[in-house]
Structure 1
Amino acid sequence: MSSLWLDREHISGDEELSDRYDDVVVGAGLTGLTTALLLARAGRSVVVLEARHIGAGATGNTTGKVSLLQGTKLSTMLQYQSRSVVERYLTANREGQAWLLRFCETHAVPFQVRDAVTYAPDAGPGLRSARAEYEAASSLGLDVRWDERLPVPFPHAGAAVLHGQAQLDAMDVLSTLVQQLRGHGGHVAVGRRVVAVTRRGTPVVSLSDGTRVRGRTVVLATGVPTLDRGLYFAKVEAKRSYALAFSHPGPPALMMLSAGRPSRSVRDALGPGGSPMLLVGGDGHAVGRVRSESEHLERLRSWTGEFFPDAVETHAWSAQDYSSHDGVPYVGPLPRGGGDIYLATGFDKWGMTNAVASALDLTGQILGEAPSWAKPVHRRITRPRGVLRIGRMNADVVVAAATGWGVAELRSPPDVAPDDGRADVGRVGLRPVGRSNVDGKACSVVAVCTHLGGVLKWNDAESSWDCPLHGSRFAATGEVLEGPATVSLRQPPPEHREA
């Protein structure tokens, strides 16, 4: 599976890697590269360390909506936070949007102006949610309108519409950020996984190959922090959502997201040679907690086939993002990081604006010039409903952990490898062992997450091992893909490995 945006040659990394920088940024997505560029512009020496390739995480798999109307985000946040915090959140996103679009205009990165739409698919609960978002957005100063007749072929009962938002190809942005970063003396190293950060006067970053890099500051821009200090893995919920790209002669020129479940995201895009394309997404879920990921993709295909019969599928992919208990991203110094380690997480699928806002915030904090809108957002006082949500999130983790260890079959791994694209889990003693077959290659791994020991579940859409506890994901061969885990899966005893 590959996103429409990643269907191109990867952006190359730099071979050079010094042992000392002013700033070490971990993660080459929109947050990390924007932060790195801003710091490099200030005359600092900067390196970005990326475990896989540039854009491998959420940015390369986004739907690319640069919008202040974000589904039902504002009305939901008002349930968990004070009005002043939600106002600051909106201001931060407005600043992030403005910076990103100025950057695109300055450097000839293409984008399209579109109306953003939060719509109700029917007159049920979704209509109440869409109307609540309209009222929340209006009260917060957004110039939204209510519309009950949209130029789309699928049912809708009403929608909040915000004019003058934008959409883009996120990899175009990352490519230009890398180019600008290098022009200001910065470096980007790919295939360099960070496994630890220790303090010896200043932070020391340890890589999986044994290399150590020292920085005056370290910025963790990795989706969820890969260091457990602050326990952010327990404060956010990892979610996957899906997207399909289609060749289509006349996709709606709108950026749409449904209110209620199942979610449906719709936008147009430009394909090869400027050909019109339709993007359909949604049907998300908590990582590793569904029977079949492929079923979610099939539901999107079925929905698209019903309402866009002329659509011809070209790409299918999924993305992972993290939501906080109260809707506010976590941005700032990492607890017990000595004031030199920073993080940004919890964008709740709205990274195009939040990533840049976080970069502006983090850079300001590092340079001693924090934006006026930033500090109140992060001095959050969670309402009781937010405290209850943290409890529910972690109760779900406990249930997932108990279920994983309780239902894994007490038997030896199968003697015969599964059919291609499939996997099976058995036990060697008390250890679950997973055996998979992907593209004719059989692999065996200890199917236990190296982060906190959750029993892994096979993702039948992406041929990966996913952890239902905190969202770590591993390739069929055991290498870390994403999440708080930094160590690859262990190998089973020799007698239980595939020859």
Structure 2
Amino acid sequence: MNNRQLNGKLPEHPEPFWRTSVEFPTFQSLKEDLEVDVIIVGAGITGITSAYLLAKEGLKVAVIEADKVLNGTTGHTTAKITAQHDLIYDEFIQNMGRSTARLYFEANMEALEFIRKTVEEQGIDCDFTTVDAYMYATSDKYAEKIKKEADAYKRLQINGGLIDGIPFDIDVKNVLVMKDQAQFHVTKYLVHLIDLFIKRGGQIFEDTVAVNIETGEQPVVLTRDENRISAKHVLVCTHFPFYEGTGLYSTRMYADRSYALAVKSKKKFPSGIFISADEPTRSFRSIQENGEELVLIVGENHKTGQSPVETMEHYKALETFGEEVFGLEEIKQRWSAQDLVTLDKLPYIGEITTGNPNILIATGFRKWGMSNGTAAALLFRDKVTGKQNRFEKLFTPSRFYAHPSLKNFLVQNANVVGQLIKGKLDSPNRKPEDLAKGEGAVITLDGHRKGAYRDDDGKIHIVDTTCTHVGCEVAWNNGDKTWDCPCHGSRFTFTGEVIEGPAEKPLQKYDYTMMDNLTSEDSGY
């Protein structure tokens, strides 16, 4: 089966399953200054769970969200709740020791059990199901890695081990199972938590962009609309932190993209959640839509802005895999996701910088945000209420493991320099008038590198391709119709508006006519 035979089944526009199968509450933007006990910036799984937990503690809590609730990384997830995070435990034992590796496992399992208990106690209808998690190898190289990971499971007393195979038409050489993991419908779960939070007096403001923090005993969050929110504690839950302090997080993480299809298959899906150890990654699980079983297929990861092929090819590769393994009747939806990876692969959860105990951050979940994001919320609750949390040292952003942190710091920042130079040397030969409707590309205009997109009405949108963060040159993402920065993962709409940080300002926009009348627009900054 090849891509050409399957091409045409893919939906024209990306649309995540978790955003279309739930009715979301809506909230007004913040119109005035505000004073609360805790201000939470970001309405994903970490922010909403933190808000719910802290409101239960009797605190006055407000959440602000730059876009709409649950529309960021949380709304684009696989919604697996598991401590099986790829091949990680052998690596953690080697680099950080057995006790640290065990703590990481326990933190994620406690998060899983918190979700399970909350679903049961609150009677949340969110398709929560206990399943086993499977990781498989199709090559000798990764079969050996899985053996080492199985040994790590034994050393850490993880309930699981090597098994013979998986119930799919995939030629596997080794399989590792972790028992009693889970999956759920993440937005159904979190919409329920939002309702409980609001009933306890919590406040949520959408379309409210945080731009800075004034530090001090009573920190103040500043918004783009010049409102001030003062609080005893600030929780930064914005995927990439909108405020870095002196933490230099853009030099300590890289952004990674992956792709997803929700499909109707010809074969019944067995129980379990599955992921390949080999690259390119293949991850799959079942999901439910109005009583109908669908299969969620995810994979094809690469650093943001650094895809070796046009991004639509990643969707087509997943389509081919789905046809070969499951048999596809229909591709219901497609979408992509972005995740952040830290130097040592542990999330950064805790004080944003040493000496700022009232400004806390959670970032770098490495594609495993359901459990890590919940673990962050549980740690935040304890930090805010003055309780001890045994995972605080594990996740502290100020930690440093010489190996692998130093090596990865040098590698990642060398990559940034390479991408910066590469972009400046690029000399595209396309012109705006070459573009078809729905097509975007890097072009040359009046001798300068620009980005162009022709919309469905034929209008051409021109932007400067220089990212507003540190000046790298963005690349066109034809699968999602966005401009993506290869240096630190900032993403922009085809009109230049910021989708993902660390960039805060939009790309410079230009008016354009077919007569080459090009003028700079005032972008409002």
Q: Indicate whether the TM-score tops 0.5.
A: yes
User: In structure 2, how many angstroms separate the alpha carbons of the residues matched to 1:80 and 1:464?
Assistant: 37
Given that residues 461 and 511 in structure 2 are in contact (C-alpha distance below 8 angstroms), is that contact kept between their aligned partners in structure 1? Answer: no
TM-aligned CA deviation for residue 377 of structure 1: 4.3
Secondary structure of the equivalent of 2:483?
A: strand
Is 1:48 the counterpart of 2:63? The answer is: yes
Partner of 1:85: 100
2:402 alignment counterpart = 383
Task: Name the SS for the 1:416 alignment partner.
Answer: helix
Change (3 A) 1:216 1:82: same
Deviation at 1:338, TM superposition (A): 3.5
CA contact (8 A) 2:165 2:174 kept: yes
Residue 35 (str. 1) matches residue 50 (str. 2): yes
Which residue in the other structure is 1:57 paired with? 72
- Give yes or no for contact 2:342–2:364 (8 Å, CA) kept in 1: yes
Corresponding residue for 2:299? 282
Aligned to 1:496: 518
* TM value normalised by structure 2: 0.89
Q: 1:113 to 1:453 in 2, by over 3 A?
A: same
Q: Could you say which residue in structure 1 is the equivalent of 2:3? A: none
Query: For residues 447 and 110 of structure 2, what CA distance do their matches in structure 1 show?
Result: 52
CA contact (8 A) 1:205 1:214 kept: yes
Give, in whole Å, the separation in 1 of the partners of 2:274 and 2:389.
31
Q: Is this contact kept in 2: 1:203–1:215, CA < 8 A?
A: yes
What is the CA deviation profile of residues 194-239 of structure 1, one whole-angstrom value per residue up to 9, with x for unaligned ones?
A: 1112236522222222222222221111112112321111111100
Aligned to 1:487: 505
For 1:258 and 1:415, how far apart are their aligned partners in 2? 41
Quick one: which of 418, 422, 445 aligns to 1:403?
A: 422
Point out the more displaced range, 417-426 or 464-473.
417-426
Aligned residues: CA RMSD: 2.2
* CA distance in structure 1 between the partners assigned to 2:435 and 2:243 by the alignment: 35
Contact 2:150-2:176 within 8 A present in 1 as well: yes
- Any conservation in 2 of the 1:408–1:425 contact (CA below 8 Å)? no
Q: Residue 7 of structure 1 corresponds to which residue in structure 2?
A: 20
How far, CA to CA, are the matches of 1:87 and 1:338 in structure 2? 28
Output one character per residue of 1:391-444: Cα deviation in whole Å (capped at 9) or x when no partner: 1111111111111111144x7x83526212222324567863211123334312
Corresponding position of 1:103: 118
**Structure 2 vs 1, CA of residues 497 and 20 (structure 1 numbering), >3 Å: closer, same or farther?**
same
Change (3 A) 1:417 1:493: same
Do the aligned partners of residues 11 and 134 (structure 1) sit closer, same or farther apart at CA in structure 2, a change above 3 Å counting? Answer: farther
Label 1:199 to 1:383 Cα distance change in 2 as closer, same or farther (>3 A). closer
1:234-245 alignment runs, 5 A limit: 234-245=251-262
Would you say 1:434 and 2:451 are equivalent positions?
yes
Counterparts in 2 of 1:40 and 1:485: CA distance versus 1, 3 Å:
same
| CA–CA separation in structure 2 for the residues paired with 1:297 and 1:145 | 32
Instruction: Give the match for residue 210 of structure 2.
Output: 194
Determine the C-alpha separation between the residues in 2 that align with 1:43 and 1:14. 23
Counterpart mapping for 1:155-304 below 5 A: 155-199=171-215, 202-229=218-245, 230-248=247-265, 249-271=267-289, 273-290=290-307, 291-304=309-322
Q: Distance in 2 between matches of 1:430 and 1:331?
A: 46
Cα 1:377–1:217, aligned 2, differ >3 Å: closer, same or farther? closer
Query: Which residue, out of 475, 494, 505, partners 1:457?
Result: 475
| Residue 212 to residue 381, structure 1, CA distance change in 2 (3 Å) | closer
Separation (CA, whole Å) in 1 of partners of 2:336 and 2:274? 18
Contact 1:447–1:456 (CA<8 Å) still a contact in 2? Answer: yes
Query: Structure 1 length normalisation: TM-score?
Result: 0.94
1:349 — aligned with what? Answer: 367
Quick check: 1:85–1:377 contact (8 Å CA) kept in 2?
Answer: no
* Partner residue of 2:323 out of 288, 305, 310: 305
Q: Deviations over 1:143-162 (max 9, x none)?
A: 10311222112221221112
Q: Which amino acid aligns with 1:126?
A: Y
| Percent of aligned pairs with the same amino acid | 30
Letter in 2 for 1:208: R
Structure 2 segments unaligned to the other structure (5+ residues): 1-13
Q: Is the contact made by 1:11 and 1:53 (CA closer than 8 Å) also made in structure 2?
A: no
Per-residue deviation at 1:114? 1.0
Deviation at 1:384, TM superposition (A): 2.7
Q: Residue 81 of structure 1 contacts residue 381 of structure 1 at CA under 8 Å; is this kept in 2?
A: no
